[in-house]
Amino acid sequence: MRGNLQRAAAVLVMVWASAVAAQSLPDILPEHERTGGPYVPTPMLVVEQMLDLAKVTEQDHVIDLGSGDGVVVITAAYQRKASGYGVDIDPELVRQSNQRAQHLGLDGRVRFEAKDVFKADVSKATVVTLYLLPEMMQRLRNKLYAELRPGTRVVSHDYHFEEWQHDAEVAIDVPEKEFISGVPSATLYIWTVPAKIEGAWRLQVDENGEYELTLNQRYQNFEGLAKGKNHKASLLEPQMNGTEISFVMSQGSDHGRFFGRIEGDRMEGIARFSSGKVARWRAVRSKVS
């Protein structure tokens, strides 16, 4: 057992050492022009915290945009048994990342490619990691929101998407960053890609009739209005996390708290009313004629 732990520690040291060594690659000049900003290695403490924040497991496929030396994808594969894909514009960094993955026996689960991040296929990701400058974050925002599947987690180091508000943030002490940015700390941001629910729906609540439901959405935030035969009500306390949705809707003096799951053009779940009644509900997106 002790021998296995020592070997594991040795391999992790190699991964970290490769990140440090990448700072002095002979073929990569500090002024090398990159669309996402200059290449700056991510400290191992930050890498591990990013993976923790995204709750990465062996079920995940981690895509790192602007992967640099590959340390995020390689660590996710080695520590968490995840699969992964890294994209970077610098072919030399990509070559070295693939070489490290092969050396660690991970090349069957991870790969790196020299490519513009805007041309990368991100559709298979369950987790996306980023360490890119603010302008690049803003330019990538629409691509990620449109192309990632609902429920995908996005974790960014130090920079955020501005108008797409993050779900949570974590500040950590990282003394070695003071030599890079002048600040001995890092802030991590996480988003869960929401399902797309904007538009008209037909809502049916068992034993409570049908409603025309209109939803307006701004990323994970939404508002709605339900119109029944003799009743109209705004949705209260609306919340969405990936494919999970909840809201409160009144029916006269009775208030129902609705919980459900979204699957494409359908959603369904359970409503618990203040009267004690429990009912199933379902909604189908109305087709545009």
**What CATH number is given to the structural domain containing 164?**
3.40.50.150
Mean pLDDT of the chain: 88
Last residue of a domain, one of 192, 208, 242: 192
Residue 19 pLDDT exceeds 80? no
Do 225 and 161 lie in a common domain? no
Residue 92 or 8, more confident: 92
Quote the pLDDT of residue 35.
52
Counting beta carbons within 10 angstroms of the beta carbon of residue 50, is it exposed (0 to 12), middle (13 to 18) or buried (19 or more)? Answer: buried
- Residue 273 DSSP label: E
The contacts of residue 199 (CB under 8 Å, 6+ apart) are 214, 215, 285, 286, 288
Do 187 and 203 lie in a common domain? no
Do 175 and 219 lie in a common domain? no
Quote the pLDDT of residue 33.
44
pLDDT bin (cut points 50, 70, 90) of residue 14 is very low
Do 87 and 204 lie in a common domain? no
Do 42 and 104 lie in a common domain? yes
Range of the domain at 215: 199-285
User: Terminus-to-terminus CA distance in the chain, angstroms?
Assistant: 66
Do 54 and 173 lie in a common domain? yes
Do 126 and 216 lie in a common domain? no
Percent of the chain with pLDDT over 90: 78
Is 61:82 a contact under the CB 8 Å cutoff?
yes
Do 115 and 154 lie in a common domain? yes
Quote the pLDDT of residue 189.
98
- The closest alpha carbon to 157, from 5, 13, 34, 40, belongs to 40
Sole residue written with tokens 């429920």: 151
- Residue 159 DSSP label: -
Quote the pLDDT of residue 16.
41
Is 224:211 a contact under the CB 8 Å cutoff?
no
Last residue of a domain, one of 169, 192, 215: 192
> Cα–chain-centroid distance for residue 245?
17
Quote the pLDDT of residue 280.
97
CATH number at residue 226: 2.40.128.120
The model's pLDDT over 27-54, given as tens digits with 9 standing for 90+, comes to: 333 333 445 556 778 999 999 999 999 9
Distances (CA, A) of 31 to 79, 93, 180: 33, 15, 15
Sole residue written with tokens 């399902």: 195
The model's pLDDT over 208-217, given as tens digits with 9 standing for 90+, comes to: 789 999 999 9
- Half-sphere exposure at residue 221, Cβ-oriented, CA atoms within 13 angstroms: 6
The model's pLDDT over 168-225, given as tens digits with 9 standing for 90+, comes to: 999 999 998 887 777 899 999 999 999 999 999 999 999 878 999 999 999 999 999 9
Last residue of a domain, one of 147, 167, 192: 192
Percent of the chain with pLDDT over 70: 86
Helix boundaries (H) for the chain: 2-21, 44-53, 71-80, 91-103, 134-147, 178-181
Do 78 and 9 lie in a common domain? yes
